[in-house]
Chain A
Amino acid sequence: MSPALLTWLIPLPPLLAFFLILLFTRRNNALSHTVAVGAAALSWLLGMLVFFAALGVEHLGEQPFTSSVGWLPLGSSVFPIGVLIDPLAAVTLFFVAWTVLMIFIYSIGYNNFGQPKGEGDVPGLPPHGAKDHGHSVPSVEPMYARFFAFISLFAFGMFTLVVSDNLLTLFVGWEIMGLCSYLLIGFWYAKPSARAAAVKAFMTTRVGDVFMLLGIVALYAATGTLNFREILHNPQVLDALATTSSGYFGLSVAGLIGLLLFIGTVGKSAQFPLHVWLPDAMEGPTPVSAMIHAATMVSAGVYMVIRMFPLLSAGWVEGGDLTATMTVMAAIGAFTALFAATIAVAQKDIKRVLAYSTISQLGYMIAALGIGAYVAAAFHLVTHAFFKALLFLGSGSVIHGVEHGVLHTGEHIDPQDMFNMGGLKKKMPITFWTFLIGGFALSGFPLITAGFWSKDEILADAFGHGHLAVFLTLAIAALLTAFYTMRQITLTFLGAPRSKAAEHASETKPSMTLPLVVLSVFAVAAGWVGIPENFPVIGGLLPSWFHNFVSGTLLEHPEAAAFNILPLLVSLSVALGGLGLGYLVYRRAGEQDPLRSALGPIYTLLENKYYIDELYDRIFVRPAKAIAEGFVYMFIDRQVIDGFLHALARAAFSLGGIFRNKFDAPVVNGFGDFTASMTQSFGRALRKVQTGQVQQYLLFVALITFGGLFYYLFGILR
């Protein structure tokens, strides 16, 4: 079977799994997760097949695997949908398949499969643990099967998005994931915070999606197609889009569309104005966080931008100055990177730290795209997916371990608060080492980790193309990244336990640690495919395969940034410096964060995330509520609409009365009664004939018939 056809099949298994679980195997946990993981594995297998088939093709960018069918008849034409595997899609498929599979496996352990049912457990709340003869043990998730159903659907959405060859199906997958993130963040729907977070995530992303839909519509109106290759590999179209002015803010059509699409990404990938949902999304189970933040949703946003890069950057020649859209992207990306990093420094919750780091890393990618570092962005997308998934799963493992301790000791502490941890290195060695690798990758530990290469490439590009502002911001952000990463590691694993729960924490099951190990391998190795040729010493060892491969996606391949020692030094220094600083500061941290005293008010500011949530609450939420309550409901609905209706009713009623008395009663009824009485009298007269004797009737019939016969006879006889 040709790779294109195989590609069609990739998204299907999770979807089937979703329906299977929901419809049939809901009652049976083992069966459910077997189905789900099996489906994920199948998709993974297909994905790998397609990926390696793609590797085999020379100039995949020119001849990608495509296949499409006519789907939606649009009067004159038919809207085709199909699959497209070009280098970008291939690499995305690669890491998506891997992370998804790992997360599925991880979920088994995370949801305490095989543990007894908790007495107090109710659907919609996290399992509280069960009494297992005497001491308490973790209890299985009450809605175990449902969880797998949801993440299966989620996976379906992501795969659809990755393999689709046009914006529409991409958007479909996109929205499916939006729905799933809603369902999964609100998975423990009995927790008010979870509910709120779910709604928040849905609404916030919706803002972005609306704009994105506008962008899609505009694009279709402008070009008459949504197929990637028809638009992006078609210089005439791009030029036309780039040159014609849209009439808004002096943007070109391409710029406008790009901006709209980009806003969609801002929502999905939680960039600065719309980033607020992501930290709250931590209310969901940890694998969900990993799904949403690492593998799928946020990556989806960036993936879309990368995918549409030629459109966004239409009218921009490499080395030339940026278009308005790109400037916006660069600004927002860079700002978000720094901004989120600063917040991350002051978070207590282990998962929230990662959430903000995710935001900032995504900022990196956006910024990279903004300055036209196409390959670097894609590269960072891949590496980041791996090590961030690793980190989330690791944090989940940590939380799990600590929860175990909490159950064991029975003291009531938040198992996600890093200041309740510490010294877990001995308790959970596998988690520690993998987490360490992930952390170093995130903070860009030189030479070995993947994060280093990708981040370095971004910095190098930024520097090489002379965007100094971006370069500096990102550098500082990188410093902070390294800092809070080390802070996290130190607080969590090193030093002495700060709580009895932490003392009694224990290593988690292999079903959770195995994915960690696998991902950690990628977190290191994924970087080696992207080492620039012109890097000193080890530059030549491995050819910079990634660059050549992915850059094939574009029409005119961007050449790698010229090597420059300065950004390298910078990134080296920030990474190592940040790490060292973090270690030094938090080496002996107690219950109290040493930074609090150092920074003072700024710290509280950071801790409260610049009060942005509160700000939004003031600006948007409350006014909206006020308007809804006071104006729309009290005035428009009650007064205007209802009043109108009531008036109408009264009028109709009176009119009816008039009709009834003036027309219906005298005329219609009179006629009806007359007819009735006539009929009655006739009937009274005629009923004598009805003797009820069948044969008498027959006799009449025969007589009449004979009459007819006789007529003819008469004619004959005469």
Chain B
Amino acid sequence: MTPIQVVFLFTAALILWAAFMMVTRQNLVHAALYLIVALFGVAVIFVLLEAGFLAVIQVLVYIGAIAILMIFAVMLTRGDVSHESESVNRGFGWAALLAALFCFGLIILLGQSPAINTPAPALAVDRDTVFELGRALVSPDAYVIPFEVASVLLLAALIGALVVARPHIKEKSKQR
């Protein structure tokens, strides 16, 4: 039981607890905050996996942008009665069952895989994974195409979001 393992177990517990709270809380803002906790825990996991860059990005993107937007949306849609009313739909029992099945199924399945016991090779001390990742993302023999596609996707999402969320022209003209 090395301290690092302690750290991991603690973080994992935190994450799962936060996730559980998130899906069970009725108050959406609380749920969002728990989500943030979970995401932060994931960032820590990334650190443990020596993917510092991803950890920082995790915080930046998920906590800094996504979660905040979530809370924002929650607050914008506050007038909705369904906050106070029952927070889960009729089929939640099925959902729970299915989720549990998935959990065990996945664990068993993964446990069967031969690679499960391979120890982590030590990363070279002077290795700059950030540099390598950057190279991989823009080098033509690696991921430049997906990278560009992702950028296009983001642009499309940006425009789409604007178009969808914008009040209609009629309403605008009414405001005038």
Contact = CB atoms under 8 A, between A and B. Distances in A.
CB atoms of A and B under 8 A apart anywhere in the complex? yes
B95 A709 contact: no
Contacts of A702: 98, 102
Contact of B109 (A695, A699, A703, A713): A713
B95 A716 contact: no
Contacts of B102: 702, 706, 709
B94 A716 contact: no
B105 interface: yes
B105 A713 contact: yes
Contact of A699 (B94, B101, B105, B112): B94
Contacts of B91: 695-696, 699
A709 B105 contact: yes
Contacts of A616: none
Interface residues of B, number: 12
A218 B80 CA distance: 90
Contacts of B2: none
Nearest to B91: A699
A710 interface: yes
Contacts of A709: 102, 105-106, 109
Contacts of A695: 89, 91, 95
Contacts of A710: 105
B162 interface: no
Nearest to A702: B98
B105 A706 contact: yes
Contacts of A716: 108-109, 112
A716 B107 CA distance: 12
A204 to B, nearest CB: 64
A703 B94 CA distance: 10
A671 interface: no
Interface in A690-714: 695-696, 699, 702-703, 706, 709-710, 712-713
Interface in B102-116: 102, 105-106, 108-109, 112
Interface string B75-100: 00000000000000101001100100
Interface residues of A, number: 12
B98 A703 contact: yes
B117 to A, nearest CB: 16
Nearest to B105: A709
Contacts of A696: 91
B79 to A, nearest CB: 21
Nearest to B95: A699
Nearest to A698: B95
Nearest to B102: A706
B88 to A, nearest CB: 10
B112 A706 contact: no
A702 B91 CA distance: 13
Contacts of A706: 98, 101-102, 105
Contacts of B101: 706
Contacts of B105: 706, 709-710, 713
Nearest to B112: A716
A713 B108 contact: yes
B114 to A, nearest CB: 12
Contacts of B108: 713, 716-717
B106 A699 contact: no
Interface in B41-81: none
A715 to B, nearest CB: 9
B89 A699 contact: no
B23 to A, nearest CB: 13
Nearest to A713: B105
A495 to B, nearest CB: 84
Nearest to B98: A702
Interface string B14-34: 000000000000000000000
A709 B112 CA distance: 13
A717 B98 CA distance: 19
Nearest to A709: B105
Contacts of A699: 91, 94-95, 98
A703 B105 CA distance: 13
A706 B97 CA distance: 12
A190 B106 CA distance: 93
A692 to B, nearest CB: 13
B113 to A, nearest CB: 10
Contacts of A712: 109
A428 B102 CA distance: 113
Contacts of B98: 699, 702-703, 706
Nearest to A705: B102
B108 to A, nearest CB: 6
A280 B108 CA distance: 105
Contacts of A713: 105, 108-109
A699 B102 CA distance: 12
Interface string B110-141: 00100000000000000000000000000000
A717 B105 CA distance: 11
A699 B97 CA distance: 11
A701 to B, nearest CB: 10
Contacts of B94: 699
Interface in A443-457: none
Contacts of A703: 98
A247 B94 CA distance: 102
B103 to A, nearest CB: 11
A696 B95 CA distance: 10
Contacts of B106: 709
A396 to B, nearest CB: 66
Contacts of B109: 709, 712-713, 716
Nearest to A695: B89
Nearest to B99: A702
A319 B102 CA distance: 114
Nearest to B111: A716
A702 B101 CA distance: 11
Nearest to B89: A695
Contacts of B95: 695, 699
A717 B107 CA distance: 13
Of A695, A703, A710, most buried by chain B (CB within 10 Å of CB) is A695
10 contacts: A696-B91, A699-B95, A699-B98, A702-B102, A706-B98, A706-B105, A709-B109, A712-B109, A713-B105, A717-B108
Interface of A: 695-696, 699, 702-703, 706, 709-710, 712-713, 716-717
Given A695-B95, A713-B109, 11 more contacts: A695-B91, A699-B91, A699-B94, A699-B98, A702-B98, A702-B102, A706-B98, A706-B101, A709-B105, A709-B109, A717-B108
What are the 5 closest A-B residue pairs judged by CB atoms, nearest first? A709-B105, A716-B112, A702-B98, A713-B105, A712-B109
